[in-house]
Homo-oligomer: A and B are copies of this chain.
Amino acid sequence: MKIYKKAILPVGFKASAVASGIKRANKLDVALFYSDVVAKSACLFTTNTMPAAPILVNRRCLKNNKQFRAIIVNSGNANCFTGKQGLIDAEGTVRALARALGIANKSILVASTGIIGKRMPSLKIKKAIPVLARGLSASGMSKAKIAIMTTDTFAKEITVKFNIGGKIVTICGIAKGAGMIAPKMATMLVFILTDADIAQKALDKALKSCTDRSFNCVTVDGCMSTNDSVMVLANGKAKNALIDTGKNFDVFVKALNIVCLELAKMITKDAEGATKFIQINVTGAKNLEEARKVGLSIANSSLFKTAMYGENPNFGRIVASVGASGVAVKEKDLKMEVSPLYKKEIVVNVDINRGKSCVTVYTSDLTPRYVKINAEYN
A302 to B223, CA, bound (A): 7
14 contacts between A and B (CB under 8 A): A48-B323, A49-B326, A50-B320, A81-B334, A115-B316, A116-B316, A117-B315, A117-B316, A223-B301, A223-B302, A224-B323, A226-B316, A226-B323, A309-B371
Check if A208 is an interface residue, CB within 8 A of chain B.
no
Check if A317 is an interface residue, CB within 8 A of chain B.
yes
Query: In the complex, what residue of chain B is closest to A373 when comparing beta carbons?
Result: B306
The interface-forming segment of A37-45, A249-257, A362-370 is A362-370
Q: Which of B80, B118, B324 is the one whose CB lies under 8 Å from A48?
A: B324
Main secondary structure of the interface of A (DSSP, over half): loop
Question: Is A370's CB under 8 angstroms from B324's CB?
Answer: no
A115 to B320, CA, bound (A): 11
Check if A378 is an interface residue, CB within 8 A of chain B.
yes
**B residues within 8 A CB of A324?**
48-49, 182, 184, 223-224
Q: Across chains A and B, which 6 residue pairs bring their CB atoms closest together, nearest first?
A: A116-B316, A310-B375, A50-B323, A368-B368, A306-B374, A48-B323
Q: Fill in one digit per residue for A344-370: 1 if any B CB lies within 8 Å of its CB, else 0.
A: 000000000000000000000011101
Question: Is B222's CB under 8 angstroms from A314's CB?
Answer: no
Q: Which of B320, B332, B368 is the one whose CB lies under 8 Å from A83?
A: B332
Question: Is B222's CB under 8 angstroms from A116's CB?
Answer: no
Check if A112 is an interface residue, CB within 8 A of chain B.
no
Question: Is B375's CB under 8 angstroms from A319's CB?
Answer: no
Closest Cβ of chain B: how far from A360's Cβ, in Å?
Answer: 22
Which of A184, A324, A378 lies at the interface centre, i.e. has the most chain B CB atoms within 10 A of its CB? A324
Query: In the complex, what residue of chain B is closest to A329 when comparing beta carbons?
Result: B49
Question: Is B51's CB under 8 angstroms from A323's CB?
Answer: yes
Q: Fill in one digit per residue for A54-98: 1 if any B CB lies within 8 Å of its CB, else 0.
A: 000000000000000000000000101101000000000000000
Check if A340 is an interface residue, CB within 8 A of chain B.
no
Query: In the complex, what residue of chain B is closest to A84 when comparing beta carbons?
Result: B332
Check if A321 is an interface residue, CB within 8 A of chain B.
yes
Question: Is B320's CB under 8 angstroms from A48's CB?
Answer: yes
Question: Is A81's CB under 8 angstroms from B306's CB?
Answer: no
